[in-house]
Amino acid sequence: MSARGLRIWITAVAVGFAGLGATWGLLTMKPKPAATAVPEARPPLVQFVAAEPALLRLPVTTQGTVQAQRDVSLTSQVAGRVVSVSDEFVAGGLFSAGEVLLQLETADYELAIARAESQVAASRQRLAEEEGRALQAKREWRDLGTDKANALFLREPQLMAAKADLVAAEAELRSAQLNLERTRLSLPFNGRVVNKTVDLGQFVTAGTTVAQVYGTDQVEVRLPLTDRQLALLDLPLGRVGAQRQAVAAAPEAILRAVFAGQPWEWSGLIERTEASVDVDSRVVYAVATVDKPFARSDEGQRPPLMPGMFVQARIEGRAIPDLARLPRAVLGSDGSVLLVDSESRLERRAVRMLHADGSSVWVSGLSQGERVVVNDGGVLLAGMDVTPTPAQQFVSEAF
């Protein structure tokens, strides 16, 4: 190798060692990073509302259709030609208790009364004659000087027959008089005519239905109630010996309906429940009764509460102790809520929901001041440590 090549080789080796030395120096002389403490994870922030159980009355809302308490067919008990009708004997006509709606021809029944009166007079004459003959027979028998007398000789059977004839004749007279009264067709309650099937001059036979009517003194509304709604009410359930007291303490029902484009209200009472549970819907029907549904209001504008009208009902609930109102979102699908205990740890509690509206639920099973979590997004579990903070106030929807 020439001297020039040797110098190049030595230079290359020297440069390589110098680079290795610089690299080693950079790696070994680098300052070590300072150790820093890892911050502890903060418990998740949760919002809560404080439970405030109290004695509350929760109203129940339901709906139903108005129906007449008395809905009857007016039927003629005797035959005859219609000779007069009331001005109210028309569809929609209003009549009073005892008002004659229809008058049948009376001539035949007046003749029957005359014949019956004649028969009564004849029977009384025969009875008087038999009483005289019986008295004469007793005297004759006494004149014979014996105590034993034959009943036939004393005319006892004849006297009994005469008395029976008089009773029968008087019964026939009462029957004729009753038939005459039945030529005047009326009803023992105030009502309204739904429709009529006969009119002036028409002949009707006994048993002919002349009109369909309903009473206007009182109407009813069948209101379906679920099992949860029943828990909020104190209803008369037909218990033996308690019906009279139940009616006296019947809850009030406010009925609302729209008529002619305007809302109206009527007040009624839940006086009874029906005898069985509906097999299809599994609801219990409470019956609200409204007195004088055709009476005018103080302003004189309210329409009558007529059968067939659809109404919304608000029933006064019973007083329930220890009932708390909470935001609807706090209640889980399993009927439980998350609570924050005194150590800021979560626990799950099953509660009983009694009522719910659009934004709130009313539950039992909570104590005063217990903190209920309102922002459970499905990531909070019982036993977790949390950082609680009060939630903003919420407003319940009005009933």
Q: Give 89-142 pLDDT, tens digit per residue.
A: 999 999 999 999 999 999 999 999 999 999 999 998 988 888 887 787 777 666
Per the CB < 8 A criterion, the answer to whether 66 and 38 are in contact is no
Judged against a pLDDT cut of 70, whether residue 246 lies above it is answered with: no
Cβ atoms within 10 Å, residue 127 = 20
Token duo for residue 190 = 């105030």
Q: For 60-68+217-315, which CATH class?
A: mainly beta
Q: For 47-56+320-390, which CATH class?
A: mainly beta
Sequence spans of domains, the chain: 1-30, 47-56+320-390, 60-68+217-315, 106-182
Quickly list DSSP for 168-211.
HHHHHHHHHHHHHHTTEE--SS-EEEEEES--TT-EE-TT-EEE
Residue 378: what residue type? G
Alpha helical stretches, state H, the chain = 3-29, 107-143, 156-181, 227-230, 243-248
Q: What is the pLDDT of residues 378-391, one digit of tens each?
A: 678 888 888 888 88
Which residue, among 70, 71, 65, has the nearest Cα to 287 in the 3D structure?
65
pLDDT band at 334 (very low <50, low <70, confident <90, very high): confident
**Mean confidence (pLDDT) of the chain:** 84
Task: Starting at the earlier edge strand, list the strands of the sheet with 191-196.
Answer: 71-75, 209-215, 191-196, 94-95
pLDDT band at 204 (very low <50, low <70, confident <90, very high): very high
Give the helix/strand (H/E) hosting 244.
helix 243-248
Query: What's the average model confidence in pLDDT over 145-162?
Result: 71
Cβ atoms within 10 Å, residue 227 = 10
The residue count for the chain = 399
Judged against a pLDDT cut of 70, whether residue 309 lies above it is answered with: yes
Q: CA-to-CA distance for 91 and 193, rounded, in angstroms?
A: 5
Q: CA-to-CA distance for 223 and 254, rounded, in angstroms?
A: 12
Per the CB < 8 A criterion, the answer to whether 285 and 273 are in contact is yes
Which residue, among 250, 247, 289, 236, has the nearest Cα to 267 in the 3D structure?
289
Phi/psi for 365 (5° steps) reads: 110, 10
Ranking 5-9, 330-334, 369-373 by mean pLDDT, the lowest is 5-9
Q: What is the pLDDT of residues 358-371, one digit of tens each?
A: 788 889 889 898 99
Query: What's the average model confidence in pLDDT over 182-202?
Result: 95
> What is the structure's pLDDT at 399?
40
Q: CA-to-CA distance for 336 and 352, rounded, in angstroms?
A: 8
> What is the structure's pLDDT at 397?
42
Stated pTM of the model: 0.71
